Structure formats: structure tokens, C-alpha cells
Amino acid sequence: MKQKETMLSRLIILSLFPLLLGQVGCANSQPKMQEAIKAITVDISDELPWSERMALSIMKRCPEAWMNDFSEEPRWSYTHGLVMLSIQKTWEAAHKDIYFDYAKSYADTMILADGAIRDYQIDEFNIDHINPGRFLFLLYEKTGQNKYRKALATLKRQLDWQPRNKDGGFWHKLRYPWQMWLDGLYMGSPFYSEYASRYNEPERFDDIANQFILMEKHARDPQTGLLYHGWDQSKVQRWSDPETGLSPHFWGRAVGWYAMAVVDVLDFFPENHAQRNELIAILNRTLDAVAKVQDEETGLWYQVLDQGNREGNYLESTASCMFAYAMIKGVNEGYLDNRFRAIAEKSYAGILKHFIKVDDTGEVHLEKCCAVAGLGGNPYRDGSYEYYISEPVRDNDPKGMGPFILASLEFERGSSVEH
């Protein structure tokens, strides 16, 4: 009874957030920007590393940073955040201001002078909306502009009040109660860990570790070691198993998000933390299972990981880029042993051969991207095999281009890769 009363009180408080936080959730009421769109003229030389070639191609296709992800108006979105983070990291490697300025332009479109975030509603408690805050840390560090610090604090405030399940796991969204998705670990935890590291909140790392441990405990399949896409603790969703609460399939990109989340969180996890080694063990278990379902011929991964060339299944680029990144970064940082290097190199070579296309102008394109997939909602997504293979496939999706840049940067660290 006490637990039910606590949850009821929490939900009542959450419903009052728009009143408690004033203008924070009203940033999207600002008029649409009437900016002149200026074409970016760039020379995308084949002498440049792949990280820069893809970054410049993105900038050419989307001269205003908010135009990423096929957007017709500015949106606060994890896809934009992923691209801006990858381009910001390209700036750190290449030391060319065009990359820093491009990422900053998205922040300056979305963050108002008082720190309010356009197109952001804190009371939705959508964990996807935490992720685009990641690239604001470096902007604040380099510019000192307080609006970025205020926006970071707003996103941290959302995490402080994010609804949780009975074991402390973050709900994916307020409208998806009791559910944890693999995607959500990437959306929330790297931001959470960097905030805790930068702003001296070491007590938060227990909570961060618990998110991964809890998800693996429930989502890991004992036979294959792969992770199911979603877990509904209440077991009421039509997609959830009535005994386990798990969705029925291993979706490639969902596992990719989870693997990237672990390897990025470890950047900030204290060396002496009791759960650090457990996170490294989770990374090893996850990627060991992933390696076993790598396509032997191409080095790539399928949309539904364990279904191989079953009718309708296909080799999918966003997940393949994510696994390549998580593996090569894991090796570079010493989290994975060196046998994963060959697996990562094979996958990266497969990406370049089968998914990367360069047009006559030098512009780089990423093909065979699953556009979107999820669970529940309206229309209802049942998590079936037929569902995952039915979602649209498109080129140049940011959920693949961002990880491609990140993987390229890792391969380019201290070694030469074929351009």
C-alpha cells in the first residue's frame, strides 16, 4: 500500500510540472524561425578521412543544422543530438572550426537566451529528450555561455523526476509506463554520467550502473546472450510476454544503442567505482553475443539479429555502424580484448563496401537504414518479426551517419584506414 501511495503522489507531482517550472516547457511556443538558408559549399576531398567526409556531406545536405533528420522545422531530438555530438568530436580530432560552428548553430537555434529549450516539454518525461543535451557540455566549457548551463540543468532536472519502475529503472516515457527499452539506456545514461562527472555528483554512479544491470538482468536471453528490445515490468502490453514482460525479438539497433551506451558511460565512470568492472563485463557479454550473429560473408548485422537470411530480413546499416563503433572503441579503451579488433575491422570494411556510396560530387551517402522502430503506441507496434521487417528503409538516416562518424574517428585514432 505504501508503494502505491508513493507512486500516486509522484504522478500527481509530475502532473504539476508545467506549473512548477514556468517557461521551461513552453519554449516551443516561440515563433518559427525565419532564417535564410545558406548553402554550404565544401570540397569533400577523397584525401580526407571518412569522419570528415561524412561530416561535410551532412553539412552540405543540411546547411542549417536543424534540417537534419529530414526536418522541416527546428526540433529538439536525439537524432540531431547524435549528429551534433559526432560532428563536435570531428572538430576535436580535426581542429577545424567549421565543425564546432555547425554543432553550435543547432544549439543556438534550440537554446534561448534564458536557457529555455525550444520544442521541449519536461512534463512528457521522454528520456529521448535527454540525449541531445550531451553536446552542450563542451559548448559550455568552450564558450562559457550560461544559457547552455541552464539547459543542462533543465535536462538533469528531468532525470531527477523521471518516473521509475519498482527496481529504480527509468520509464522510457511517461506515456510508456513501467517500460524500459534498450534504446533508453543510450538516451539517458551517457548524459547522466557526464553530468555527474563534471558537476561532482559521484553518488549518481550507483544509479547509473543500476540502469544497465537491471536491463541486462531482465532482457538478456540465456541461450544466445542477446538482449530483447523492451521489458514491461507490468506485463500488460500486448507485445510483452505474460511471464517475463519481454518483447519477442532481438532488434539490431536497440542492441546497438545499448552497446554504445555502455562504452560511452565508461568514459566518465570512476576508476574505483565498485560497479565499473561489472559494466565492462556487460559490454563483453553483449558484444560477444553480437559477434556470434555477425554475417560471415559481409561482416554486417541483420535487422533482426538472430534471423539471418529469413525471408524479409536484411543487412541493416545503423546497427552495423553502432556495433563497429562500440567494438573498436571498446578495444581502444582496453574494455575488450584484441580479438574484437578483427571483428570490428571486418564490420567497418563491410560498411564501406556495402552501405557507403560516394556520388560524383564527392558527397558520401549511407544506404539501407531502418528509418524507425518501436513498441506499442498508435498505430500499435507489436514487436513481431513481421513488424520489424516492415518499417521503412531509407538512406542517410542520422541514426546511422552519427555512429559511422564515431566509428570512423575510433578507427582513425593512431592508425591509418583506407579512405
The catalytic site residues sit at 183
Q: Taking a C-beta distance cutoff of 8 angstroms, is the pair 307, 316 a contact?
A: no
Give the cell for residue 181: 527499452
How far is 316 from 181, CA to CA, in rounded Å? 20
Beta strand spans in 195-313 (E): 230-232
Q: What is the torsional sign of CA 103, 105, 109, 112?
A: positive
Q: Nearest CA to 193 among 161, 168, 220, 159?
A: 159
DSSP string, 279-330: HHHHHHHHHHHHHHTS-TTTS--BSBGGGTT-TT--B-HHHHHHHHHHHHHH
Interior angle at CA 245, CA 242 and CA 251, nearest 5: 120
Altogether, the residues listed in the chain come to a count of: 419
Alpha-carbon span 343 to 264, nearest angstrom: 19
Q: What angle do CA 281, 282, 284 make, to 5 degrees?
A: 65
Residue 94 carries which side chain, given as an amino acid letter? Answer: A
Residues with Cβ < 8 Å from 1, sequence gap 6 or more?
A: none
Cell numbers of 350, please? Answer: 563491410
* Angle between helix 252-265 and 204-219 (nearest 10): 150
- For residue 164, the cross-strand partners are 170
Amino acid at the residue 9:
S
Contact at 8 Å (CB) between 151 and 111? yes
